[in-house]
Each structure stands twice: as C-alpha cells, then as structure tokens.
Chains A and B, each alone.
Chain A
Amino acid sequence: QSALTQPASVSGSPGQSITISCTGTSSDVASYNYVSWYQQHPGKAPKVMIFDVSQRPSGVSNRFSGSKSGNTASLTISGLQAEDEADYYCSSYTSTSTDIIFGGGTRLTVL
C-alpha cells in the first residue's frame, strides 16, 4: 500500500492562506470521507487538526479547514501565523487489509 501523496513543502507569508493537497486512490480518499489531518511541531507528537474530511476537533482554530474532491483532499490554513510552521500529515481509511494510511508529510514554512 503506497502512501498518500503530499507536496514536500509549501510556504506562505503571515496573514496569507495556503492549501496542502493529499492525493489518494479509489481505495481510500475517493471512496471514504475518513480523511484526517495532523500537525506536528519538531520533537512533538502529532495533533489532529481535521477529521472526517472537514470536521474540526474542539479547540482547533477555525483558520484550519478541510475539503475533498474526488481522490484529493485538501487542508487550508487561512490567516497564516508563525505558530503554524510545522509538518502536516494527512491520513485516510483504506479498503485494503491495512485500515489506515498516511501521507508522506508536508513542511509548512511561514516566511
């Protein structure tokens, strides 16, 4: 089972909006609304920012939003802040024997 495909890096200036894509297949992203997004700061454990494609856990800023079209899910961060600089990972449920698959990760740099 190959990992979901994410861009290696994205960048943006404070106040701007950025979008990170996560491309899968008909076995995962395209067929299920079970995409999650995780934020990981250096040396820290990941933190869930979005689940079920577009749901935000309690306490997560509404600057973070998720969507999906076909086999590609997207995470959008609006009003970029310095604290958003981190690695971001998508994950999806998959119909293969491995229930969950991660993307390769995207490093967000706030310029």
Chain B
Amino acid sequence: QVQLQESGPGLVKPSETLSLTCTVSDGSMSGNYWSWIRQPPGKGLEYIGYMYFGGSTNYNAALKSRVTISIDATEKQFYLRLTSVTAADTAVYYCARLRFSYGPFDFWGQGTRVTVSS
C-alpha cells in the first residue's frame, strides 16, 4: 500500500517560489506517474501536473509557465516548484500517484495547506 506525505512551508510571500516535497513509502516509484493537485479554500480540485518515473512531464496549461515537477528516486521523493506566486495560489496541495497518464489518482497524501501572504 503506497503512502505519500507532503512537506514544505505553510506560508509563502507573494512573488516568491513555492516548494513542496512528497515522500513516497511502501512502494516503488518506478513505472508510475507522480502528480500534484491543489484545492483553493472552499473550491474544487485543480490538476497541476505529473512527472513519469522515466522523466516525461505534463503540466496544466494554465500553470505551465510557472510549474516544475521533479523526482529523486533514490530518496523516494518528488517535488513541486511554483514560481511567482500570488494570493490565488493559496490552497491545500496534494501529492498523488497517477496510475497511468490518463488516470486514476489512486493514492493521495493527506494534503498540506499553503498560504500566500506578506
């Protein structure tokens, strides 16, 4: 049973870079897609993007210019980097395993709340 845990700062200043880590336990990272999803307060889920273990990536077109997802398989971690943040990036950020490039998101972390504020 794959388990995921997000970590990172809960407060980021406007215009700075949001960086989060997802640690994977009880499972291999190979052969899977590792993704990030976010949920603004009181709103729905928004797909951010994924990275395949083999290196390919896909990002939400609306965020593509600001997003980078990377993997460190030896550490069993993957990462989210979102630049030039604004208040609109305030959300609960989830990491999840995407079983195939077309879905489903079958294992999720518990989520980490990130607030963008000065």
- Chain A residues near B (Cβ < 8 Å): 1, 3, 32, 34, 36, 38, 40, 44-48, 51-52, 57, 89, 91-93, 96-105
Given contacts A1-B61, A48-B106, A91-B105, 11 further A-B contacts (CB under 8 A): A3-B44, A38-B105, A45-B94, A48-B104, A51-B99, A52-B103, A89-B45, A91-B45, A93-B103, A98-B60, A102-B46
CB distance from B110 to the nearest CB of A (A): 6
Q: Is the interface of B mostly helix, strand, loop or mixed?
A: loop
> Is the pair A45, B45 in contact by a Cβ cutoff of 8 Å?
no
Contacts of B103 in A (CB 8 A): 34, 36, 51-52, 91-93, 100
- Number of residues in B with C-beta < 8 Å to the partner? 24
A15–B58 alpha-carbon span in the complex (Å): 42
Residues in A whose Cβ lies below 8 Å from that of B106: 48, 51, 57
- Chain A residues with Cβ under 8 A from B44's Cβ? 3, 89, 102-105
* Interface, chain B (partner A; CB < 8 A): 44-47, 50, 58-62, 64, 94, 98-99, 101-106, 108-111
